[in-house]
Every structure is written in C-alpha cells, then in structure tokens.
A and B are shown apart, each in its own frame.
Chain A
Amino acid sequence: MLDTQLRQRPLLLLVGVVLAQVLLLAFQIKREHDVPLIRYWAAELVTPVGRTGTWTSSKIRGIWTGYIALHGAHTENERLRGELDQLRLRNRDLESQAGEAQRLRVLLDFREAHPEAPMLAAQVIGASADPTSHILFINRGERDHVRRNMAVITPDGIVGKVVEVFANNTAQVLLINDRESGVGVLFADTRTHGVVKGTGDPEPLMDYVSTDEKVHAGQLIVTSGEDRIFPKDLPVGVVADVKQGNMFQVIHVRPAVRLDRLEDVLILLSRQDVTLKAVQESPAEPAPQSGAPADAPKPAAATPQTQAAPSPPSTPER
C-alpha cells in the first residue's frame, strides 16, 4: 500500500501541478485577468541581471571599439592626413585653374562680342615697386604690337593706358587712379563732361564739374572719347561721394573695375568704339576675379546719347 503511494506520489504531484496550472490558465482566459504579481516578481528577479549584463556588454564593446580596435588608427590617421594635405594642394591648384579659365572665358566672350575692335588679352605679371604709384606690368610688349597710349580695359570697364612698352613682351599700364592719370569722362545720364584724375588713393576724383551741376552718389560715369585714348561710353565708375568746392565739385569716383585685384586685361589695339552691351547681355557672368566690384555700373551702351556734350576745359594726356 505504502509502496504504491510512494510510487504514485510524483504522479499525483504531477497531476496536481499541471492541474493547478490549467486552472491558472483558465482563470486568466475566463476572466481576462493577467497575473501581474508573478510577472512583477519574475521581472524584478531577472531584469537587474539583464541590465547589468547589458551595461557590461556595452562597456566591453565600448572598450573594444574605443581602444583595442583602434590599434593602427594612429598610422592610418597619419596617412590620411598626408593624403588630405595633398588633396588640399591639388584642390587649391584646381580652384586656381578654374578661376583663371573663367576669367579668360569672360575675356574671350568679350572679344568675340566685339570683332570690330581688335584687342589683345594680357595677364598682369607685376606692379610698381612704389606703393604710391598705380602702375602694372603686363605680359604683352612690342612683339605683340602693343604701343604707348593704348587703352587697357576689362569687360567691366576701363583700367588705364599703356605708358611704356618693352621689347621683351612686357608693358607698363598706368591705372586710372594713379596721380599721373587723367581720363576724359562724362556722366552717362546728363552727359556733363569732366576729367577723372588719379590722386594716388584707390578712388580717383572727377574734376571740372561746376557746382551748379546736380550730381548724386551712384551716378554712372563713362568715357567721353575726347582724350583720344579710350573709346567713347566705356564705364569708368560711379559717383561715390560729392562735396562742394570753390568752382568745381569734388567728386569721388568708385572705379568700375577692382583695380587692386586685376589678373587679366584686354588691350585695345585701335581706338575703335567699343560698347559693353553684348557682354552684359550674354548669359556668362563676369568673374569677380577679373576686377569687377560687386556694384559694377551698368553698361554705357544702355545710355542714350541725346544731349550735345560740352567740351571739358582740358583733357590731360601723358
């Protein structure tokens, strides 16, 4: 009897345990009740270890990825730095080439737009050693048929004139803001004449404009053509500032071309009139490196020439 009981005890226990669980299941399903206490205990039992395990594994992974796996990173870093330096140099070289190509394209467009006016592209290769003089050296000379008093311009406006030509393909250009320079000009709208004279400062002055004349900042100044160097109606600059003088107004002119940043210029081989209209209307924007300021004046050709231009008192020539 006892033997049977001992043998059957586990079986009875099994039946009891399974039955209890079946009842537990039935309770949960019938009443749609969960047993949150058991889940809570189980979670409380297991999650601290899981959290610790997760924390430990993340730390181990952090140590691995942050330190051990970085073995050789220093060497790779040095190599990459070297490559980066080389690529920076290469990039600078390419940027320079791209800028030059863009400037030359602008000049080429300008030349193609004015087949009637023979002109020659030149590069600025140096400047005067005297800081007060505004003279440039360009890479064109006698062999290129460059002569004294030829006008030097960019698609944005006038630059100056050739004052010296050398046999070794070099010429000197006197900028319009040099104190020796003088350009016959007129206001594009009122056609009032004057002379733009260099002072040695970046901004030249426009002289011989009587105090009766109404002048305002931003007024466009173009060449008058009377100095027999620059063709008529090329942009010279805009009025930057006006002050009343004794007889004439003191007018500061902001040049149409950035004279301190010139790299490529055009030499006009004849005094054939040139208008900048074609270039200004072309889709290609002029490169800023060619010397054009952000507020470059509008083309002279857009200005109607309806008024008779009075002659200036004098047009100085070098």
Chain B
Amino acid sequence: MASMLNAGARSDNIEVHKYYSGTVIVAVFLALVFQAFLHKYGRWSELIDLPLLVTIYFGVSKRNPASGLLLGAAIGILQDALSPDNPIGLYGIAKTLVGYVASSIGGRIDTEHPLSRFGLVFLFFHFHQAIFAVTQRVLLNHSAPFFTLRLLLDSLATAAFGVALFALLDRLRRRS
C-alpha cells in the first residue's frame, strides 16, 4: 500500500498536461485525414508524418506509458488500415513502441523547448523508421532501409513541422 502511495506520489510530482475534452480524438482524426487526403495536393505531405507527430506529442504530454502505447497502437493501426499496401500492424507496432517510449521519457526530459522538441521528433522519427524497417525485414521479408538521405530530409522536415505543430497543440491545453 505504501509503495502504491509512493508510486502515486511520484506520478503526482510529474507534470501531466490535460486537454479539453475531445482534443486528442480530433487531433488524431485530423492527422489521419490530412495524411490520407493531402497526397493529391503535392508531394510535400509525404515528407511529414503527421500521425507520428501526434503520437509523440500526446505521449510526451500525457506521460502515461499505458495510454501512450495504446494511442500509438490505435493511430498506427488506423494508418495501416488507410494504406492499402500495408498489412495491418506494420505502422501499428512502430507507433505502439514510439507512444510507449515517448510517454516514458516525457517526465524525465525537457519537452517544452523548441530545440529539445526538434531533437526529440528527429530521434523518434528514426526510431520509428528503425522499428518499421525491422518489422518489414523480419516479418515480411522486405528490404526496408534503416537510413537514407531522403529519410534524413524527411526527419528534418517532420521535426521542423513538429515544433510548429506542438506549439499549436499547446494552446489546446487546459489551464490547471
């Protein structure tokens, strides 16, 4: 019981951000919609992984590994479902792990400064890509790259866009 209290006290010491109701669902939904339908407006949308950004942001903000991994799993499975070429579970596994790790480290590092956010997104992008590539190689026997120049550019673009998107999502936080 004491350990439970300790655990609760420890979690109470970590700043957990709360949002207006429906914010997470709407944000996830819009990220999937934009990712799915913005392809026809140009290749720029291929540079940025919006569902990944939403997974990282809410994982880091909620700081609850369980909800983080479940949110990542849900986003990944929906992204797979909207990608007819992908078997369902490919993005799901990668984003489950991203959500889990993001929510686990959210309370331990500074996630408010734009530079740290840039670095965080950059690293998570490549972490996500690494899991994606491993899953493809091991389970699907596909040769997916771990790192390319194109992926580097994509990660930089996603990180830069993420800094702006995170600042926008910060405005939806409920003031305590």
Contact = CB atoms under 8 A, between A and B. Distances in A.
Given A14-B69, A26-B139, A42-B78, 9 more contacts: A10-B64, A10-B66, A18-B97, A35-B81, A38-B77, A42-B82, A45-B29, A50-B33, A50-B36
Interface in A4-61: 6-7, 9-11, 13-14, 17-18, 21-22, 24-26, 28-29, 34-35, 38-39, 41-43, 45-46, 49-50, 53-54
Contacts of A6: 3-4, 7
B65 interface: yes
B36 A3 contact: no
B7 A21 contact: no
13 contacts: A6-B7, A10-B65, A10-B104, A13-B69, A13-B70, A21-B77, A22-B139, A25-B87, A25-B93, A28-B88, A34-B87, A35-B81, A46-B82
A2 B7 CA distance: 10
B92 A46 contact: no
Chain B interface residue bracket vs A: 20 to 34
A26 B139 CA distance: 7
B14 interface: no
Contacts of B90: 25
Contacts of B64: 10
Interface residues of A, number: 31
Contacts of A18: 93, 96-97
Nearest to A41: B81
A25 B100 contact: no
Contacts of A49: 29, 33
A217 to B, nearest CB: 71
Interface of B: 1, 3-4, 6-7, 29, 32-33, 36-37, 64-66, 69-70, 73, 77-78, 81-82, 84, 87-90, 92-93, 96-97, 100, 104, 135, 139-140
A53 B7 CA distance: 46
Contacts, number: 95
Interface of A: 2-3, 6-7, 9-11, 13-14, 17-18, 21-22, 24-26, 28-29, 34-35, 38-39, 41-43, 45-46, 49-50, 53-54
Nearest to A10: B65
Contacts of B96: 14, 17-18, 21
Contacts of B87: 25, 28-29, 34
Tell me the dominant secondary structure on chain A's binding face.
helix
B33 A9 contact: no
Contacts of A54: 37
A311 to B, nearest CB: 92
A293 B82 CA distance: 74
Contacts of A34: 87
Given A10-B69, A18-B97, A39-B84, A3 B6 contact: yes
Contacts of B6: 3
Nearest to A9: B66
B88 A35 contact: yes
A14 B73 CA distance: 9
A42 B76 CA distance: 11
Given A3-B4, A38-B77, A24 B69 contact: no
B81 A42 contact: yes
B70 to A, nearest CB: 7
A2 B92 CA distance: 30
A163 to B, nearest CB: 82
Contacts of B66: 9-10, 13
B8 to A, nearest CB: 9
B3 A3 contact: yes
Nearest to A51: B37
Contacts of B3: 2-3, 6
B84 A25 contact: no
A46 B82 CA distance: 9
Name, among A24, A25, A46, the residue most crowded by chain B CB atoms within 10 Å (CB to CB): A25
Given A42-B78, A50-B37, A29 B140 contact: yes
